[in-house]
Each structure stands twice: as structure tokens, then as C-alpha cells.
């Protein structure tokens, strides 16, 4: 099933029991975000939320619409793997040879033609039932959310931003947050690696003003397509048409020569001056940390158009799991056939949510020759958004990808620290905070495949035997330094057991200070991971999130003899990290209490 607009999707969610209406008066400043965050953390993703009575606005707000396996399948008309299978069928299509095959190919070609967007002239398209231009255009009338306490202000979090290339005229639709400065201007958070930023640089180089149109509240296929990492120059509306199995109808804006989805709830029209920037941020981001302030282009509003009774659609991001995890899952599954078309030896891959989409990739391959894993790693680091991955692990057993515990045990039992780990450098996502400098830094690769003919066998070692229990070992370490705060040993039966140690760095000491005081003979061999004191060492998801987000492999991974130590603590000048370290996202106690009173524990 596909949808012409957001309202049809909302109706489907309600019919399926996937929508919770909240009639109480709620504020778009922090309260909606707190309620949404709680619902996102409900096992399975909870329900979509429809806020009917939003303070300061006549429009309702929808959040968490994509935030479960069931809702993402309802949104896109099929489960992510089914969409991937459909795409794989197209990619594997052989050219017709006989007349019979050519005749059979005609219906397919006609169907594929229906994926293409269609621009139409309409007297009153739905997205332009109400038109506010010039002084009447006012962003403050829209219930734009202020999500987290330390955010720089209110942010449009689910915008489909349309731009056109200056030279080729090709359309790009991307999703870039927009901080509201006032009723007429916003920030435009174009990351340096994104296509929207590429268009901006074309206009800036030419010294020309750049037109922009922003659709908010589109049908689910259009919303997802704006998040998809398509190659430059490929129209995201074609992908939306593929998902919908029918074209996206587009209409021209009223003040800009850019086409927008005719069925959108809101459209913001305007321009970006290539010479104007402004401080944007901070913003509580999908990494679970605040992304820092930075200079970004400024969007100037020339018109607001909307349906007669529009719904404002928003997302709230933070420490996973949240709604964006399910959108990312679609990308993971949908782009597998494209990657396999280039690297057919890849059987499958997995991007754990704790890696916030781009920090960790585990890939299963059919290994055929020496250093095959190294070839795959190099290929992935040169492919699209995979180039942002900080860590890639390669295995040759596909079943490991469906069992995280067994996968980790396999890696701990297999790898040799000296020959199976490679540290290199490359580009990183702009939101990465652990690298000593922005935009690039260290990457780590782990080859956990079986050695084959032509490769040196791994050294034979026996599983380390724990000579002391956890409590006794912690007492021993605290006898060396009281800064050792807590300890947990897991996978003790593995060749390389895993030891987690919390250290107290509030006294100003560096991680290296504690590394040098660890009694390695008492620890024996294995993997030791350092965390900040106060971290719950029993929360496995939290521990993975910290490791994936807080480490720079060239600085924070140290091999010592038969052991390896990973520093997943917060870094500062004492650790040689001179960039600001962002705060973790946390709601204020005041808002938590207000929401408790508002909902009486309902969410």
C-alpha cells in the first residue's frame, strides 16, 4: 500500500492501532520531545504520537511515526528486506534476447517508468491551499519543536530540503535540520559531505543567490527518500516513486522555481545568500550527544504554503533506540543489493544501532582468496556513506550477524591483535566528536575470517584463566590506585576475555595514567575497556554505544603483548584532546516532573 499524503498514512496508523492521540495541552518546548523520547524507548518502539492541542499553535504535531518495525513497514508498504528484494530484482534484470523476452519486458519497463516524478500545473494544489507571502510568512505560527535543554533553539527536524544544481539543474532532496532564528530565517545545516552543500558551493563560487524549498509533512516514501544516501545526481523522488510504485506529483513553488510535492502539509520557500553564515547549534543529535555550534548558511523565508488543515511532522533524535533507527534500518537493507552489485562476495552486513548508523559495520563475506577481507574493507571505505564508518569487522559466517552475543564471542575467540587489526585514517561524519580534529581521523578494521591457504596461520594460544574473581581483582586494582571504580568481566571462557573497568578521571588524571597502573599480569591476556566512573557496567547497550562513539583508534586503542586496551572514556586536554567534548543529551528534572504530572505515567 502507498499513500498520497501524510494524512492517509496517519489514518492507516490509527486503523492499525499504531497511533496514540494526546488531547492534553502540551508545549512544543521540551515537553513533546520528552514524551516522544519516552515512547521511543518503550520495547518495540511504542506508538506514533499525535498531539492534538499544542500550545501557541493551531496545528497538531505528529512524532514517532516511523519508530517501530511494524510502522516502518506500514509506511513504505513493505518490510525493508522485501523492498531490497524488489530492488535486487531490477538490478539483476538481464537484457531481453528473444522476441518473447522483449514482449515480456514491456510491462516491466512501463512499471519502471511510473517511478519517475511528474510535474503538473494545478490551479490549487493541496500544499498551496493557504499561501502566506512576504510579511505574512511567519515561522512562529508553526509548532516547531525545541527538543533538548541545551539546544540552540527550535529546530525543524523532519524537513525535505529541495535544491537544484546551478550547472546541471538536477534536483536534490535531502534532510538537513534547520534552526529557527526568528520568524523569517533559519540555519541550513548542510554537512560538508552532502549533496545540498555541493549545490551551495556551486552558487557561492558563482556569487549567486540560491533558491531553496522545504517540504514538511510529506508522504512516508518522500520523507524516507530524503534520508537515503543516493549517489550525487540521482533524484530522490525516483526512489520515492519506486517505494510508492507510483510517481510523486510535483508542483512549482509560488516564489521559487523549484518543484515540491503537491501533497505536502507545509512548504517553506526562500533562498540562501552564498556569502552569509551564522552560528547554528548546539543540537541534541542522533549520536546521543549535542552536536557543537558551527557556522552554517542562512535560509531566508519568502513564503509559507500549507494545506487547509495541516499536520506538522517532526522527529526527536537522541541516544538510540529512537525513531531514526528504523529509517536507518531501511537504508541498511535497501542498499545491500547495490553494494553487492559492486562487491558480490558480500553475503550480508549489519550496522548496530549503538553505532549510530555510521560508526560500526559488521560484514559477512564468502572468502575466496588471501586478504579477501582487506579488499572488502577498502571497498566499503570508498563507498558512499560507508566511507564514514569508524570500524569495520569482517566475518565469514552470515549467521553471526543475527546474534550479537555469538558474534562478539566469535571475534574474541578468533582475532590475533597483531595481525588481524589495521588502523588507518580517512573521512569521518561531521558529528563525530572523538577524533582530535573534525571531519577526519582514525579508522579500525578487524579481520575475523578463517585463515585460508596463502595466509599465515594465527598463533595458537589458550584461553586465559582468570586467577582472581571480579571483586578480588577490583580490590587489587584499587590497592594500586583508588581511581579504579568498578569492574566487570564477561566472556571469561573466550580466548580473549573481555574486562570492563570504570575509572575516575574527575581528579584530572588522564586515561594513560590509569593504563600505566593496570597490573597486566593480574589481568592476563584479553581485551580491557576503560569507562568513566558512574557508567552502569551492566548495561550492555550503553557500553557498546560508549565504545563506538568515544574512541579514536589511533589514540584510544593500545596493544600490549597478548592484550589490548580500549579507552572509551570522555577525553580532555589531559588526554591530548583539545576540541570541546560535547555533553550527553539529558532532559531536565523539571520537564520530567511536568510530563509525569501531565500524563500521570501514561507514557
Q: Which residues are catalytic?
A: 285
What is the Cβ-side half-sphere exposure of residue 260, based on CA atoms within 13 angstroms?
34
Q: Can you tell me the distance from the alpha carbon of 483 to that of 501, in angstroms, rounded to the nearest whole number?
A: 10
Helix (H, G, I), strand (E, B) or coil at 368: coil
Q: Can you tell me the distance from the alpha carbon of 98 to that of 120, in angstroms, rounded to the nearest whole number?
A: 38
Q: Can you tell me the distance from the alpha carbon of 493 to that of 308, in angstroms, rounded to the nearest whole number?
A: 64
Please give the helix or strand (H or E) that residue 362 lies within, else none. strand 360-365
Give the DSSP letter string of 460-520: P-PPPP-SS-HHHHHHHHHHH-TTEEEEEEE-TTSSS-EEEEEE--TTS--HHHHHTTS-H
Q: Can you tell me the distance from the alpha carbon of 525 to that of 502, in angstroms, rounded to the nearest whole number?
A: 18
- Residue 584 DSSP one-character state: B
Q: Can you tell me the distance from the alpha carbon of 139 to that of 150, in angstroms, rounded to the nearest whole number?
A: 21
Listed residue (538, 533, 539) closest to 568, CA to CA: 533
Residue 235 backbone class (left: φ over 0; alpha: ψ -120 to 50; beta: rest)? beta
What is the Cβ-side half-sphere exposure of residue 190, based on CA atoms within 13 angstroms?
24
Alpha helices in 67-146 (DSSP H): 69-76, 80-91, 99-113
Contact (Cβ atoms closer than 8 angstroms) between residue 572 and residue 513: no
Instruction: Provide the CA 534 distance to its chain's centre, in angstroms.
Output: 27
- Residue 70 DSSP one-character state: H
Buried b (16+ CB within 10 A) or exposed e, 164-175: bbbeeeebbbbb
Contact (Cβ atoms closer than 8 angstroms) between residue 385 and residue 404: no
Cα first-last separation, the chain = 30
Q: Which three cell numbers stand for residue 282?
A: 548546539
The total of other beta-carbon atoms located within 10 Å of residue 564's CB is 19
Q: Cell 573534525, residue? A: 438
Secondary structure in 3-state letters for 184-235: CEEECCCCCCCHHHHHHHHHHHHCCCEEEEEEECCCHHHHHHHHCCCCCCCC
Contact (Cβ atoms closer than 8 angstroms) between residue 161 and residue 216: no
Q: Can you tell me the distance from the alpha carbon of 501 to that of 84, in angstroms, rounded to the nearest whole number?
A: 41
Amino acid at each position: 500500500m502507498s499513500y498520497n499524503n501524510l494524512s492517509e498514512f496517519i489514518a492507516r496508523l490509527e486503523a492499525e492501532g499504531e497511533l496514540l492521540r494526546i488531547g492534553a495541552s502540551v508545549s512544543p518546548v521540551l515537553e513533546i520531545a520528552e514524551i516522544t523520547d519516552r515512547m521511543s524507548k518503550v520495547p518495540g518502539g511504542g506508538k506514533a504520537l499525535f498531539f492534538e492541542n499544542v500550545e501557541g499553535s493551531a496545528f497538531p504535531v505528529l512524532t514517532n511515526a516511523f519508530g517501530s518495525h511494524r510502522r516502518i513497514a506500514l509506511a513504505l508498504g513493505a518490510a525493508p528486506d522485501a523492498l531490497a528484494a524488489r530492488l535486487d530484482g531490477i538490478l539483476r534484470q538481464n537484457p531481453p534476447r528473444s522476441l518473447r523476452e522483449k514482449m515480456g519486458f514491456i510491462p516491466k519497463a512501463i512499471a519502471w517508468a511510473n517511478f519517475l516524478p511528474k510535474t503538473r500545473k494545478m490551479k490549487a494544489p493541496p500544499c498551496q491551499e493557504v499561501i502566506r507571502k512576504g510579511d505574512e510568512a511567519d515561522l512562529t505560527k508553526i509548532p516547531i519543536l525545541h527538543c533538548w535543554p541545551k539546544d540552540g533553539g527550535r529546530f525543524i527536524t523532519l524537513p525535505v530540503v529541495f535544491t537544484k544544481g546551478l550547472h546541471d539543474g538536477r534536483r536534490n532532496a535531502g534532510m538537513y535540520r534547520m534552526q529557527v532564528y526568528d520568524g523569517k530565517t533559519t540555519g541550513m545545516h548542510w554537512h560538508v559531505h552532502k549533496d545540498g552543500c555541493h549545490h551551495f558551493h556551486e552558487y557561492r563560487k558563482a556569487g549567486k543567490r540560491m533558491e531553496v524549498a522545504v517540504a514538511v509533512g510529506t508522504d512516508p516514501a518522500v520523507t524516507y527518500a530524503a534520508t537515503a544516501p543516493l549517489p550525487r545526481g540521482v533524484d530522490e523522488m525516483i526512489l520515492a516513486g519506486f517505494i510508492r510504485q507510483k510517481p510523486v506529483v510535483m508542483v512549482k513553488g509560488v516564489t521559487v522555481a523549484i518543484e515540491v510535492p503537491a501533497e505536502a502539509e507545509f512548504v517553506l520557500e526562500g533562498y540562501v545568500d552564498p556569502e552569509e553564515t551564522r552560528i547554528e547549534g548546539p543540537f541534541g543529535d542522533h549520536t546521543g550527544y549535542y552536536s557543537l555550534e558551527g557556522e552554517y548558511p542562512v535560509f531566508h523565508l519568502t513564503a509559507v504554503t500549507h494545506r487547509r488543515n495541516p499536520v506538522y511532522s517532526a522527529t526527536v533524535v537522541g541516544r538510540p533506540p529512537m525513531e531514526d533507527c528504523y529509517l536507518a534500518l531501511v537504508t541498511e537493507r535497501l542498499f545491500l543489493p547495490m553494494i553487492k552489485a559492486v562487491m558480490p562476495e558480500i553475503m550480508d552486513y549489519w550496522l548496530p544501532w549503538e553505532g549510530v548508523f555510521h560508526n560500526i559495520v559488521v560484514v559477512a563475506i564468502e572468502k575466496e582468496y588471501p586478504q579477501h577481507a582487506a579488499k572488502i574493507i577498502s571497498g566499503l571505505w570508498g563507498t558512499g556513506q560507508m566511507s564514514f564508518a569508524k570500524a569495520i569487522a569482517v566475518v565469514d559466517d552470515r549467521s553471526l550477524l543475527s546474534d550479537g552475543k555469538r558474534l562478539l564471542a566469535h571475534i574474541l575467540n578468533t582475532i590475533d591483535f597483531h595481525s588481524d587489526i589495521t588502523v588507518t585514517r580517512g573521512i569521518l561524519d561531521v558529528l563525530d566528536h572523538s577524533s582530535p580534529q573534525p571531519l577526519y581521523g582514525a579508522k579500525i578494521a578487524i579481520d575475523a575470517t578463517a585463515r585460508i591457504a596463502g595466509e599465515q596461520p594465527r598463533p595458537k594460544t589458550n584461553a586465559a584463566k582468570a586467577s582472581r574473581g571480579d571483586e578480588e581483582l577490583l580490590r587489587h586494582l584499587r590497592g594500586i590506585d583508588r581511581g579504579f571504580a568498578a569492574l566487570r568481566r564477561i566472556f571469561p571462557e573466550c580466548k580473549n576475555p573481555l574486562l570492563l573497568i570504570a575509572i575516575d578521571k574527575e581528579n584530572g588524571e588522564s586515561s594513560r595514567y590509569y593504563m600505566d597502573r593496570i597490573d597486566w599480569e593480574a589481568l592476563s591476556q584479553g581485551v580491557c575497556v576503560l569507562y568513566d566512573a558512574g557508567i552502569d557496567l551492566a548495561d550492555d547497550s550503553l557500553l557498546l554505544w560508549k565504545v563506538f562513539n568515544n574512541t579514536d583508534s589511533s589514540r584510544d586503542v593500545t596493544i600490549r603483548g597478548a592484550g589490548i586496551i580500549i579507552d572509551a572514556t570522555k577525553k580532555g586536554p589531559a588526554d591530548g584532546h583539545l576540541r570541546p567534548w560535547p555533553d550527553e543529551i539529558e532532559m531536565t528534572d523539571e520537564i520530567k516532573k511536568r510530563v509525569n504530572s501531565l500524563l500521570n505515567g501514561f507514557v
